[in-house]
Structures are given as C-alpha cells and as structure tokens.
Structure 1
Amino acid sequence: MKSNVNTNLKDELPDSPRRLRADDCVVVDKPRLVRSQIGAGVGNFMEWYDVGVYGYLATTMAQVFTAGMGETVGLLVTLFGFAVSFLVRPLGGMILGPLGDRIGRRSVMLFTIMMMATATVLIGCLPGANSIGIWAVVLLYVLRMVQGFSTGGEYAGAATYVSEYAPDRSRGVWTSLLNSGSQLGFAAGAGVVAATTAISTNLWGENAMVDGAWRIPFLFALVLGIASLLVRNGITESPSFEKAREVKEKPGTSRIFVRHNLRNVIRYYWPQIVIGIAIIGADGACSYTLTSYMPTYLETQIGMATVHTATATVVILLMQAVLLPISAKISDRIGRRPMYFCAAISNLILLIPAFVLFHTGSLWGLYAGLILIMIPGTMYLSINAAVQSELFPTASRYAGVGLTQNFAVSIIGGTVPLISQLLVDITGNSYVPAFYVMFFSVLAIVATLFLRESAGRPLIGSVPVVATRREAVQLEKGQDEDESIDTSTMLLN
C-alpha cells in the first residue's frame, strides 16, 4: 500500500499499519447524504444572496450612506464596506474553525446561519447619511463585519461537513453542489434587486430605490434565515468527525489523528495552507470579479444600465450553477491538478478578450464577455471545496480549511472590487482589472505544481467512504494494488 500523504506527515505515521477490512469503510446512507447536502448548502445560498444584494446595490447605497462625499469617493467608501466584511473573515475562521473541530461541524453551522441572517436584516433597517451623517457608514461597516465573521466559519464548515459525508469517488460532485447553491444564492440576490428596482421605480418613480426601496432585498433575508435555520437544524453530525472525536491523545499517536489548536495547525500544515491560499486566491479573484465587481465596472466604465447587468449576471450564474457539478465530475475522473491547470491557463487566455467584448457596449458583448470569465471560474470553483478538505486531516480539517479559505478569499477575493476600481482610477486603464486577475492565475499554476493529487482518495485521517457495500469489499481485496489506499492515514480499530 503506497503512501499518499504529504511528506511533512509521514514521520508521524506508524511503520506497520493494519490492513483495511470492508467493515472499516463507511457506506453512505443516500437519503441522509442528500439531507446533509441541503442542510449545509442553505448557508452558502444565504451568504451569496447577501453578496449579490450588496454588489448590485453598491451605487444606490453609495447615495444613501455617503451623501455629500462626492460620487467617486462615495463609491469607494461603499465598496470598502464590501471589502471590510472579507477582512474580518479570517478572524471568524480562526475562532470558529477550531471550535468546529472541538464541538462539531453542525453546532457551529447553526450559529453562523443565525448570525448571518440577523446582520443582513439589520442592514435593511439602518438610517441613511441624511439622518445620522457619518454614523450611517460606521453602522454599515459594523454589520458587514458581523456578516464577515459568521461567513468565516460558514463555508469552511459546509465544505468540511459535505466532504466528510460524500463518497470518496464522487466527492468533487457533492461538494461542488455547495457552490452551485452559492451561485443560485447570488443569482437570487441579483434577481431580487432587479425585480425590486423595476417594480419600485414603476410605482414610485426613478428615485424609489434611493428613497427606501433598497431595504426590501435586505429585509427579505429574514424569511431566508428562518427557513435555512429550520432546514439545518434537521441534519446530523458527519460520521468521520464522530469517529475522530473519540481519539484520545497518547504517546505514539500520529499527529494527523490529534485535534490541534490554531498555532499547531499552522506549524504542522503550513505547506498545505500556502498551496491552498494560492489556488483559492486565484478562484477568488476570478469569481468575485464576475459576481461582485462587474456590475460596478459595467455601469461606471461602459455605461450599461443596472437592469441589463443584473439580468445578464443572473443568466450567467444560473449557467454556472449547472456546469459546476459537470466540471467536478470530470475532476473526479481525471484529477484535481489537471483541472486547476486548465482553469489557470484558460484565465490567461480569455480575460483580455472578455474585456474587449465588454467595450463594444452591446448586449451580445456583455453576455459573451461574462461567459468567457465564467468558463475558467467554473473550473476553479467546481473543485475548491473538495481540494481544501483533502488538504487537511479530519481532526483539524475545519480549522485548516477555515484559515486557508478565509485568508485567500479575504485578502484576494474580497478586495477585488475595491482594488480593481482603485487601479482603474489611478491608471486610467480600463483593462487593468483583467491583468490583476491574471496575476493570481500565474500563482495558481506554480502552486498546483506542488499540489498532491487527491481525487478519489480517502480523506486524510478518515476511513474510506463508499457508495455501496460491494465497493467496500472491492477496496479490501484490491488494497495492495490500489495507490489511493494508505491505511497509515486511517482510523482503524
């Protein structure tokens, strides 16, 4: 049985691990897996609903919360409100991740969904700058920080949870559905903004959104939050976590089976963290350009109407939601590394043509350009949840994913709208956002060279998870020739 773990873990593994038996494997209960998938996915839907609403209301909220600051400064201040929530996400990951490894994935995810929904609804209740001046922006930032803190534990928990429930051979597909839900959430947010804008302006005039209709999409989060909480309350803890929680540290126990604090997670798993930040950062730069910066860019640089940009993004994200599991299924067969190489190279080839199409100012150019950005973004996004979970052992997975995901998304993805707009303002070059995204794809290519192939392999620190009893028997019989089986990384009784 060949070892498939990272070299910085091998010195902690036993010399003569026990052989795998069919009874050691976890056979998936399909109905429970589906319930768990839905329960985990509702949080990502809720998170991206908020991102979509804020992104598409950026210009409107600039008028409401930064009145008197000037158009350019006001827009930057509002976009910083988008960035500030992401800057807080690492703190949420550093606190909620280790907590999830200690008390369970499900308990932390219940907490994050409550916090997220409450903050979103409260934003819809805030007074504007005309009522309380600069305090309007301050309160907006505070609530955005609360959202960021909760999100810091949300996606990491959902990715960890679903990856531990899913069969090893189809982990990419199951975890990709989280991101399909995220895209649907963003599309829902953009769609609610578009519908609210169309209806309110038709009923109350062109200034209806600024006058108060902007609150409706945020207040709608109350309904979504209650529904999400009820769904999530019905899921059970992941079997891999339950087994890992039973391990008691004693002399000779491999560190991959021990739950570590944040300091030791960084100490032992820093190579995985660096690789993860690079590849997740490339995805973040691409995804947040498509979802969060393009509305502002297309309206300010190209002069397109909000209704057209919102409609186009909804269509593109619905397409992406469908394509994500297809791309993930391919990665389950050919591997994660080939998919990352394809994503990065495609980004380098397609970004500039996409921006050229935007500058035609036509509707067909709008859709064609968004599709070109969406293609590499889909390849990135389809496997990121799986790969992050595959980087870290079960006992410390929530903490490792929380740290890696949130630093990458916060430093790179969440700042894309702000930095891209600053670069455009400073350089006067409307193509510079494309070069900014392409830079991170170059870093991803380098990181992928050091990435361990993990498609179809059991998660480190867990026993194999299979779809049928027959598959478990086949693993027992063929373990000597199967390079994906390394019993030294499994919790075997």
Structure 2
Amino acid sequence: MPSGKEVTTSSSENAQVPDPSAVQRHPNLFRANRRRQHPRLRRSDITVTDEAAVRRAVKAAALGNAMEWFDFGIYAYLAGTLGRVFFPSGSDTTQLLSSFATFAVAFLVRPLGGMVFGPMGDRIGRKKVLALTMILMATGTSAIGLIPGYAAIGFWSPLLLIVFRLLQGFSTGGEYGGAATFIAEYAPDKRRGYFGSFLELGTLAGYAAAALLVTGLTVWLGDDGMDAWGWRVPFLAAAPLGLIGIYLRMRLDDTPAYLKLEDSTVRPAEATDAEETGAEETGAEETGARGELARIFRSHWRPLVLCVALVGAYNVTDYMLLSYMPTYLSDELDYSVTHGLLILVGTMVLLILIINQAGRLSDRFGRKPLLMAGMLGFLALSAPAFVLVRQGGLLAVSGGMLMLGLSLVCLLGTMSAALPAMFPTDVRYGSLAVGYNLSASLFGGTTPLVITALIDATGSDMVPAYYTMAAALAGVVAVSLMKETARRPLEGSPPSVQTEEEAAAIARAQAPTPKF
C-alpha cells in the first residue's frame, strides 16, 4: 500500500522548513500555505479502475503496436528482396545497404512525428491521436505494396518507396509514446508493469507474424516468385489490420488520468515557479504545440535526456536481435533465409510466453532491477552469444539467440511501464513521444545499417556483439540514474487502484494537516 507521501500529487522533497518564529507570528498563514502545497486526497480524487475497460484499452494499444512492428518487421525481413526490386544495380552489399538506408529513412522523421502528435495528444486527448496515427500507418504500409518495381518505372520506384517510408515514420512518431501512455494511465498503480508488458507483447507478436508470413511466402513462391510479386502481400495485409485497430481504438474512452486533468481547473502541482512565470510571459503562444515543446525542453529536460539514453540502449538491442539477426545469418554466415527466420520465430514465441511474467516481476521487485538485469545480460552475454551463433547448427544458433532473447525480455517487459512514469500527466504524451523518437531515430532504425557498414569495413563478424555491448553499457549508466516508480502513482495524477476498499484505505491513511 503506497504511503501518504507517495500518493501526494505535489512534490515535498524541495520544500523548505519554515522559520519557527515566523510560524508563531503567522500560524494561520502557514496552515493555509501548507494545505495548498500538500492537499489531502479525497476519496473522489482516487481512481478505481474498471478491469474490463483496462483490458479493452490494453488490447487496442497493443494491437496498434503489433501493427507498427509488423510493418517494420516486414521491411527488415524482406531487405534482400526489396534491394533487388528497388535497387537492382550494384553488388549484393550495395543493394542491402540501399535497402537498409531506406529502412532508416523512416526513422529520420519519427522525431518530427513525435513533436507533432505528442503535444497534440496532451491537448486533445490520447484516443483521437492514436486513431489518427493508426490510419496514417496503415495507409503508408499498404501503399508500399502497390509501388511498381524499378524495372517498370525506374527512378520513381525507389523515390515512391522513400515517400511512403517517410509517411510510416511520421505516423509512428506518435504511436509508441501514445500507446505506452494510454496503458500506463488506464492501469492500476500496482499492476502497471503487468499491463504495460502487453504493449511489448504486441511488438513480439507483430515481428513474429511478419517473420512467419515472409517465411511461408518464401517457401511457397521461392526467390523468383518473391521478387516478382510475393513481396507485396505482407504490405497489403496491413490494410485490414489497420481497420481492426482503428475500430478498437475509437470504441474506447480517453484515459482516466487525462479526463481528470482535463476536468481540473487547477494547474498541476509539479509546475515550478519559473514555469509559471514563463507561461505568463509567453502568453497564449505557450498553449500551442510550439509552446508545449518549449516547456518540455525547458522544464523536463533531465528526464528527457534519461529517456533518450534508456531508449537508445533498448532500441539497439531490440533492432539488433529482432530486425537484423535474420539478415546477419543469411548474408554474413551463408545461412538459409527461411531457416534463420524460423529460429527467430521460435525465439520470439518463447519470449511471448514469458514477457508478462517479466512485467509482473517489475511490479513486485521494481523497474530498476529488471532493467538492470537486461542491460547487464547484454553486456555480459553478447560476445558469447555471437560466438555460439557463428558456430552454425541449430542448437548453437538457437542457444545464442536465446541468450540474447532472455536479456531482451527483461527490457521488453518493463520499459513500457517505466518510461511513461518519468513525466507528469500534462506533458506525458508529448515528452515520451519526443524522447523516444529522438532516440529511436539516432540509435534504433540505424542499427542494421551501421552494423552492416561496420562489418563491411572491418571484416569482423563480431561487430554486432561489440555494438550491442556498447549500447548496454550506456543503458547500465542510465538505469542507475533513474528513479524507481513501481507501485507508485504516476506523477501529476492521483492514485489508481483496483477496488473501492483500496481507495478508502488510501484516503484514510492521509496524514492530517500538521498544526504549528
């Protein structure tokens, strides 16, 4: 049960102890000031969650995330095929680099999408923006499946591919931050890790579905059939998935935390005096998207920097294993594309089965222990894992990928609950969208491109291990600097509990106003 200090929505750590003589001279003034700074929670302030509504929200958010990674997984797993279709001239390495460069292009506009959709989600609500990003994402992915190849229209073919990849990236800029915020604000405080883990279950499900579909088509059609038309099928499949996701999201109400904030006439308690002064000076402009971004960078830059560092380490490890590994097996170790994808699918299915347990553990023991275990796992196990993978053979490759997968699941099962808790409610969507996508742009989507280029430059097959270890080391530092947020209310929001009895107990536990 959270203590009174933990559930108070205003900050007490920086409060100064009043001068005793001043308290004696003006007791009524100090009592009133104390009540304003540390208001007691009323029973009506505390959110009692509806289990059915929470599960509907989790389902809608996770499906959108699954679709996002289904789209990106398709491109990663078809990198060699798309290189031949859209970039036919040059060596195999040049084609692969061109394909991965186009993969990375989508990440260049993700920060722009985050800066547009994030503040919009804080202004007009999470639900509307998440529905909009789903529409744009489904449109961009389906359109790629309709582009004629280079042989048909020449230069226009890769140009159109880049345009629709940019649309994908722009829409994705508002997806993860919004989905993570949506689940975090719906979930009860004590189970935020468990429900948040379903978001990354969607990630694994999307990747697994993409890998299975590409594998099945490759076995059925062969390389010639895939080059001719088979590559289009996975992209076109995004259209019906998008319609289902839009339907599920539009049926939901907005999050309880956002609705309470919207109904409140009092500015959130985490606003500082400097922030208040800045708002008065900038006037109406501060309420627009530019003003909200300025406030995020000005007043919340510390958690923003920490978010970028955490997401950077997480994205490098994630994309290295789930996006790049099949290409590594086929292009660097002459492994069968189909065989490599099947091993990856097996690894992801195992992670799907245990990811919710990682979320439960983060609720019980804290976010930091789980995140640190994942980062240290990558730091210690990446080199041995790649040594195993390079041995070839089913057992060796599966064992190496499993070592990496178990480290990754500690991050996957925890990150979607840890990141939203770093920011207050009124700027949560915008701050997370900006921080996450800046980091994903710099470190996530570039991972396959950078690793491929480094292997080509150095000739070493161990480059992915060293790159992953460097990212994990940065992650260890970031985790050590973050605050523990498990089983505590989100900053700027009242407590969220599962039962009326819990709510009543928290209200009763509030300490009475001190008397001087």
Could you say which TM-score interval applies, normalised by the shorter chain?
Answer: over 0.9
Is 1:291 matched with 2:312? no
Is 1:246 matched with 2:246? no
Structure with the greater alpha carbon radius of gyration: 2
Percent of residue pairs identical: 37
Name stretches of at least 5 consecutive residues in structure 1 with no aligned partner: 482-493
Corresponding residue for residue 333 of structure 2: 302
Cα pair distance change 1:253/1:219, threshold 3 Å: closer
Corresponding residue for residue 351 of structure 2: 320
Rounded to whole Å, the distance in 1 between the matches of 2:183 and 2:471 is 27
Residue 451 of structure 1 and its aligned partner are, at CA, apart by: 0.7
Give, as a single letter, the amino acid of the residue that structure 1 aligns with 2:480: L
Contact 2:270 2:492 in 1 (8 A): no
1:325-349 Cα shifts (integer Å, max 9, x gaps): 1111111111111122211111111
Ranges of 4+ aligned residues in structure 1 off by more than 6 Å: 3-9, 11-15, 249-253, 256-260
Cα pair distance change 1:199/1:478, threshold 3 Å: same
Of residues 479, 482, 486, the one that matches 1:451 is 482
Is 1:35 matched with 2:66? no
1:53-82 Cα shifts (integer Å, max 9, x gaps): 111100011110001132111110100111
Residue 10 of structure 1 and its aligned partner are, at CA, apart by: 4.7
Of residues 138, 143, 150, the one that matches 1:117 is 138
Residue 249 of structure 1 and its aligned partner are, at CA, apart by: 6.4
| Most deviating of 10-19 and 339-348 | 10-19
Contact 1:278 1:440 in 2 (8 A): no
Matches within 5 A, 1:169-180: 169-180=190-201
Rounded to whole Å, the distance in 2 between the matches of 1:222 and 1:303 is 34
Corresponding residue for residue 137 of structure 1: 158
Corresponding residue for residue 66 of structure 2: 45
Rounded to whole Å, the distance in 1 between the matches of 2:112 and 2:12 is 26
Is 1:360 matched with 2:391? yes
Matches within 5 A, 1:127-206: 127-201=148-222, 206=223
| Most deviating of 75-84 and 336-345 | 336-345
Of residues 216, 220, 230, the one that matches 2:247 is 230
RMSD of equivalent CA atoms: 2.3
Of residues 351, 359, 365, the one that matches 2:382 is 351
Residue 135 of structure 1 and its aligned partner are, at CA, apart by: 2.2
Matches within 5 A, 1:58-97: 58-97=79-118
Corresponding residue for residue 275 of structure 1: 306
Cα pair distance change 1:91/1:251, threshold 3 Å: closer
Rounded to whole Å, the distance in 2 between the matches of 1:330 and 1:192 is 32
Contact 1:282 1:443 in 2 (8 A): yes
Cα pair distance change 1:308/1:135, threshold 3 Å: same
| TM norm structure 1 | 0.92
Is 1:403 matched with 2:434? yes
Cα pair distance change 1:251/1:110, threshold 3 Å: closer
Corresponding residue for residue 418 of structure 1: 449
| TM norm structure 2 | 0.88
Is 1:210 matched with 2:224? no
Cα pair distance change 1:302/1:253, threshold 3 Å: closer
Contact 1:42 1:232 in 2 (8 A): no
Matched length: 477
1:84-127 Cα shifts (integer Å, max 9, x gaps): 11121111001100000001100001100110001111100111
Rounded to whole Å, the distance in 1 between the matches of 2:172 and 2:350 is 25
Give, as a single letter, the amino acid of the residue that structure 2 aligns with 1:418: L
Corresponding residue for residue 417 of structure 2: 386
Give, as a single letter, the amino acid of the residue that structure 1 aligns with 2:129: V
Residue 221 of structure 1 and its aligned partner are, at CA, apart by: 1.1
Contact 1:390 1:460 in 2 (8 A): yes
Cα pair distance change 1:10/1:195, threshold 3 Å: farther
Residue 196 of structure 1 and its aligned partner are, at CA, apart by: 1.2
Name stretches of at least 5 consecutive residues in structure 2 with no aligned partner: 17-32, 280-286
Cα pair distance change 1:11/1:85, threshold 3 Å: farther
Rounded to whole Å, the distance in 1 between the matches of 2:75 and 2:268 is 51
Contact 2:145 2:235 in 1 (8 A): yes
Corresponding residue for residue 29 of structure 2: none
Rounded to whole Å, the distance in 2 between the matches of 1:367 and 1:88 is 35
